[in-house]
Amino acid sequence: MTSRDLLTQKLDLLRRLWKAHRKTLTEDQELKHLLISHQRAFEKAQKVMKETGGEAFCARCGREKRSCCGEDMEFHCDDRLLLANLICGVELPTQRTFEKGCYFLGKEGCLLRIRPLICRNFICPELAAFLGTKKIALIQHSLEEEARALFFLEERISCLLAK
Ligand code: SF4
Ligand code: SF4
Protein backbone atom coordinates (compact mmCIF):
# COMPACT_ATOMS: atom_id res chain seq x y z
CA MET A 1 0.00 0.00 0.00
CA THR A 2 1.39 3.41 -0.94
CA SER A 3 1.26 6.55 1.20
CA ARG A 4 -1.31 7.95 -1.27
CA ASP A 5 -3.58 4.93 -0.60
CA LEU A 6 -3.15 5.51 3.12
CA LEU A 7 -4.12 9.14 2.68
CA THR A 8 -7.29 8.12 0.80
CA GLN A 9 -8.20 5.85 3.73
CA LYS A 10 -7.41 8.57 6.23
CA LEU A 11 -9.63 11.10 4.45
CA ASP A 12 -12.46 8.53 4.13
CA LEU A 13 -12.33 7.90 7.86
CA LEU A 14 -12.33 11.63 8.51
CA ARG A 15 -15.43 12.10 6.34
CA ARG A 16 -17.21 9.34 8.28
CA LEU A 17 -16.22 10.84 11.64
CA TRP A 18 -17.40 14.26 10.54
CA LYS A 19 -20.72 12.89 9.32
CA ALA A 20 -21.32 11.01 12.57
CA HIS A 21 -20.20 13.71 15.03
CA ARG A 22 -20.66 17.02 13.25
CA LYS A 23 -23.65 18.13 15.34
CA THR A 24 -22.01 17.29 18.68
CA LEU A 25 -18.74 18.95 17.68
CA THR A 26 -20.22 22.14 16.29
CA GLU A 27 -22.67 22.67 19.15
CA ASP A 28 -20.31 22.14 22.08
CA GLN A 29 -19.76 25.42 23.92
CA GLU A 30 -16.55 24.36 25.65
CA LEU A 31 -15.03 23.43 22.31
CA LYS A 32 -16.06 26.81 20.89
CA HIS A 33 -14.14 28.57 23.69
CA LEU A 34 -11.12 26.34 23.17
CA LEU A 35 -11.11 27.16 19.46
CA ILE A 36 -11.18 30.87 20.26
CA SER A 37 -8.26 30.45 22.72
CA HIS A 38 -6.30 28.57 20.08
CA GLN A 39 -6.95 31.22 17.48
CA ARG A 40 -5.74 33.94 19.86
CA ALA A 41 -2.57 32.01 20.67
CA PHE A 42 -1.98 31.32 16.96
CA GLU A 43 -2.31 35.01 16.11
CA LYS A 44 0.11 35.98 18.89
CA ALA A 45 2.70 33.49 17.63
CA GLN A 46 2.19 34.72 14.05
CA LYS A 47 2.82 38.27 15.23
CA VAL A 48 6.16 37.19 16.70
CA MET A 49 7.03 35.33 13.48
CA LYS A 50 6.29 38.53 11.56
CA GLU A 51 8.22 40.82 13.91
CA THR A 52 11.29 38.60 13.88
CA GLY A 53 11.29 38.44 10.07
CA GLY A 54 10.73 34.67 10.11
CA GLU A 55 7.41 34.93 8.28
CA ALA A 56 8.90 36.82 5.34
CA PHE A 57 11.91 34.49 5.23
CA CYS A 58 9.66 31.39 5.00
CA ALA A 59 7.34 33.08 2.49
CA ARG A 60 10.30 33.75 0.20
CA CYS A 61 11.41 30.14 0.59
CA GLY A 62 7.87 29.03 -0.37
CA ARG A 63 7.89 31.27 -3.47
CA GLU A 64 11.20 29.70 -4.47
CA LYS A 65 9.54 26.28 -4.04
CA ARG A 66 11.98 25.17 -1.33
CA SER A 67 9.36 25.00 1.43
CA CYS A 68 9.53 22.31 4.14
CA CYS A 69 5.82 21.51 3.53
CA GLY A 70 6.67 18.34 1.61
CA GLU A 71 4.75 15.22 0.64
CA ASP A 72 3.72 12.99 3.58
CA MET A 73 3.72 15.89 6.05
CA GLU A 74 -0.08 15.52 5.90
CA PHE A 75 0.26 12.41 8.07
CA HIS A 76 1.19 14.69 10.98
CA CYS A 77 -2.36 16.02 10.88
CA ASP A 78 -4.35 13.67 13.08
CA ASP A 79 -8.13 13.21 12.88
CA ARG A 80 -8.84 15.53 15.79
CA LEU A 81 -6.78 18.34 14.28
CA LEU A 82 -8.54 17.94 10.94
CA LEU A 83 -11.96 17.82 12.64
CA ALA A 84 -11.07 21.06 14.45
CA ASN A 85 -10.36 22.64 11.06
CA LEU A 86 -13.70 21.42 9.69
CA ILE A 87 -15.48 22.92 12.72
CA CYS A 88 -13.82 26.26 11.87
CA GLY A 89 -15.18 26.01 8.33
CA VAL A 90 -11.92 25.14 6.60
CA GLU A 91 -12.57 23.41 3.29
CA LEU A 92 -10.12 20.57 2.88
CA PRO A 93 -8.66 20.15 -0.59
CA THR A 94 -9.90 17.40 -2.90
CA GLN A 95 -6.50 16.98 -4.47
CA ARG A 96 -2.85 17.88 -3.95
CA THR A 97 -1.88 21.33 -5.28
CA PHE A 98 1.83 20.54 -5.67
CA GLU A 99 2.99 17.12 -6.82
CA LYS A 100 5.68 16.87 -4.12
CA GLY A 101 4.00 19.10 -1.55
CA CYS A 102 2.01 18.38 1.60
CA TYR A 103 -1.62 17.58 0.75
CA PHE A 104 -2.70 20.65 2.76
CA LEU A 105 -0.35 23.09 1.05
CA GLY A 106 -2.18 25.59 -1.14
CA LYS A 107 -0.88 28.25 -3.51
CA GLU A 108 -0.86 30.82 -0.68
CA GLY A 109 0.60 28.50 1.96
CA CYS A 110 -0.96 26.12 4.46
CA LEU A 111 -4.73 25.72 4.02
CA LEU A 112 -5.28 24.72 7.65
CA ARG A 113 -6.23 27.17 10.37
CA ILE A 114 -5.15 24.76 13.07
CA ARG A 115 -1.77 23.23 12.25
CA PRO A 116 0.32 20.45 13.76
CA LEU A 117 2.96 21.49 16.27
CA ILE A 118 5.74 19.96 14.21
CA CYS A 119 4.92 22.46 11.45
CA ARG A 120 4.73 25.36 13.88
CA ASN A 121 7.95 24.48 15.71
CA PHE A 122 10.14 23.58 12.79
CA ILE A 123 13.08 25.89 12.19
CA CYS A 124 15.39 24.74 9.41
CA PRO A 125 19.16 25.52 9.57
CA GLU A 126 18.82 28.42 7.11
CA LEU A 127 16.02 30.02 9.10
CA ALA A 128 17.92 29.40 12.35
CA ALA A 129 21.01 31.13 10.93
CA PHE A 130 18.88 34.05 9.77
CA LEU A 131 17.07 34.46 13.10
CA GLY A 132 19.84 33.86 15.63
CA THR A 133 19.33 32.43 19.13
CA LYS A 134 17.51 35.39 20.68
CA LYS A 135 14.76 35.50 18.07
CA ILE A 136 14.47 31.70 18.04
CA ALA A 137 13.87 31.79 21.80
CA LEU A 138 11.17 34.46 21.30
CA ILE A 139 9.41 32.31 18.70
CA GLN A 140 9.61 29.17 20.82
CA HIS A 141 8.23 31.02 23.82
CA SER A 142 5.35 32.41 21.75
CA LEU A 143 4.43 28.89 20.60
CA GLU A 144 4.02 27.50 24.12
CA GLU A 145 0.54 28.99 24.55
CA GLU A 146 -0.53 27.63 21.17
CA ALA A 147 0.79 24.16 22.09
CA ARG A 148 -1.25 24.19 25.31
CA ALA A 149 -4.36 25.41 23.48
CA LEU A 150 -3.98 22.65 20.88
CA PHE A 151 -3.62 20.01 23.58
CA PHE A 152 -6.85 21.04 25.35
CA LEU A 153 -8.67 21.40 22.05
CA GLU A 154 -7.76 17.90 20.91
CA GLU A 155 -8.56 16.43 24.33
CA ARG A 156 -12.05 17.96 24.18
CA ILE A 157 -12.60 16.54 20.71
CA SER A 158 -11.51 13.08 21.96
CA CYS A 159 -14.08 13.33 24.78
CA LEU A 160 -16.85 14.32 22.38
CA LEU A 161 -16.00 11.55 19.93
CA ALA A 162 -16.20 9.00 22.74
CA LYS A 163 -19.75 10.04 23.74
S1 SF4 B 1 11.49 26.62 7.90
FE2 SF4 B 1 13.13 26.71 6.38
S3 SF4 B 1 12.50 25.23 4.78
FE4 SF4 B 1 10.71 25.71 6.03
S5 SF4 B 1 9.67 27.38 4.93
FE6 SF4 B 1 11.00 28.29 6.52
S7 SF4 B 1 12.90 28.73 5.45
FE8 SF4 B 1 11.79 27.27 4.20
S1 SF4 C 1 2.20 23.77 7.62
FE2 SF4 C 1 0.37 22.97 6.61
S3 SF4 C 1 0.99 22.65 4.49
FE4 SF4 C 1 2.86 22.80 5.71
S5 SF4 C 1 3.41 20.71 6.24
FE6 SF4 C 1 2.19 21.56 7.92
S7 SF4 C 1 0.09 20.93 7.47
FE8 SF4 C 1 1.27 20.71 5.59
CB atoms within 10 A of CB 100: 11
- In the three-class reduction of DSSP (H, G, I as helix; E, B as strand; rest coil), residue 105 is classed as strand
CB atoms within 10 A of CB 83: 23
15 C-alpha to ligand 1 centroid (Å)? 31
Residue range 56-77: mean pLDDT, rounded: 93
Q: For 68, left (φ over 0), alpha (ψ -120 to 50), or beta?
A: alpha
63 pLDDT more than 90? no
Residues 6+ apart with CB under 8 A from 32: none
Count of structural domains, the chain: 1
Q: How confident is the model at residue 119 (pLDDT cuts 50, 70, 90)?
A: very high
Residue range 12-23: mean pLDDT, rounded: 98
Question: What is the C-alpha to C-alpha distance for residues 102 and 74, in angstroms, rounded to an integer?
Answer: 6
Q: How confident is the model at residue 65 (pLDDT cuts 50, 70, 90)?
A: confident
Q: Are 18 and 83 in contact (CB under 8 A)?
A: yes
6 C-alpha to ligand 2 centroid (Å)? 18
- Give percent above pLDDT 90 in the chain: 94
Given ligand 2 and candidates 55, 61, 69, which is best to mutate, with the most ligand atoms within 8 Å of its CB? 69
Ligand nearest to the CA of 73: 2
Residue range 88-117: mean pLDDT, rounded: 95
66 pLDDT more than 90? no
Q: How confident is the model at residue 48 (pLDDT cuts 50, 70, 90)?
A: very high
Q: What is the mean pLDDT of the chain?
A: 96
Ligand nearest to the CA of 108: 2
- The domain in which residue 126 lies consists of 3-161
Its pTM stands at 0.94
